[in-house]
DNA sequence: GCCGTGACGATTC
DNA sequence: CGAATCGCCACGG
């Protein structure tokens, strides 16, 4: 089958299920897939996600609420802007308020 | 089957 | 809080 056999598709599937105005963490997705330690692999799937897949990867953040690198999404601040547009709030550190928007599959 | 890689996680300083 | 370190897992070569 394709190079993207299972894990990647699972990650994308879960990420696509994240409701608008909410965010999830790589660890949460990895946990949902049955591999709580595969958080890195989840992040890798996001980076390997095909452009134009409409995958809301901007709704996926790490456990600390920090967003993806500035060079991601094609520009710095893009991720935060998108989340803010969806109603997501940030703290003084520019991190997502997981206490309010954390969503787990 | 080993090595290198990586948009992570948790711990420690 | 910020930076550094170790450990984890899956994919490609």
pLDDT digits (tens, 9 = 90+) for A25-62: 999 999 999 999 999 999 999 998 887 778 999 999 99
Report the CATH fold assignment for A3-101.
Arc Repressor Mutant, subunit A (1.10.10)
Q: Is strand B within 7 Å of residue A60 (CB)?
A: yes
Looking up tokens 């547009």 gives: A85
In eight-state DSSP terms, residue A20 is T
Q: Which percentage of chain A shows pLDDT scores above 70?
A: 95
Q: Calculate the average pLDDT of chain A.
A: 89
**pLDDT reported for residue A5:** 64
Q: How confident is the model at residue A2 (pLDDT cuts 50, 70, 90)?
A: very low
- Which nucleotide has the shortest C1'-to-CA distance from A26? B8
Instruction: Specify the higher pLDDT residue, A66 or A4.
Output: A66
d(CA A79, CA A98): 15
pTM reported for the whole predicted model? 0.90
Q: CA angle, A97 as apex, A87 and A14 as ends, to 5°?
A: 75
| Residue A3 CA, nucleotide C12 C1', distance (Å) | 10
Separation between Cα atoms, residue A19 and residue A50, nearest integer Å: 20
Active site residues of A: 57
CA of A81 to C1' of B11 (A): 31
Kindly give, in sequence order, each residue whose CB lies less than 8 Å from that of residue A21, ignoring residues fewer than 6 positions away.
Answer: A86, A87, A88, A101
As a whole number of Å, the CA-based R_g of chain A is: 13
The angle at the Cα of A40, spanning A63 to A86, to the nearest 5 degrees, equals 45
The nucleotides of chain C lying under 7 Å from a protein CB are 1-2, 7-12
Report whether A14 contacts A105 (CB < 8 A).
Answer: yes
- Tell me the domain boundaries of chain A: 3-101
């Amino acid at each position: 089958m394709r190079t993207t056999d299972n894990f990647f598709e699972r990650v994308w599937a879960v990420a696509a299920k994240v409701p608008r105005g909410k965010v999830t963490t790589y660890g949460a997705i990895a946990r949902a897939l049955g591999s709580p330690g595969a958080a890195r692999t989840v992040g890798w799937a996001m980076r390997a996600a095909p452009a134009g897949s409409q995958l809301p990867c901007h709704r996926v953040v790490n456990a600390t609420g920090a967003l993806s690198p500035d060079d991601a999404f094609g520009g710095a601040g893009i991720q935060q802007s998108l989340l803010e547009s969806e109603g997501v709030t940030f703290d003084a550190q520019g991190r997502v308020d997981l206490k309010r928007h954390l969503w787990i599959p």
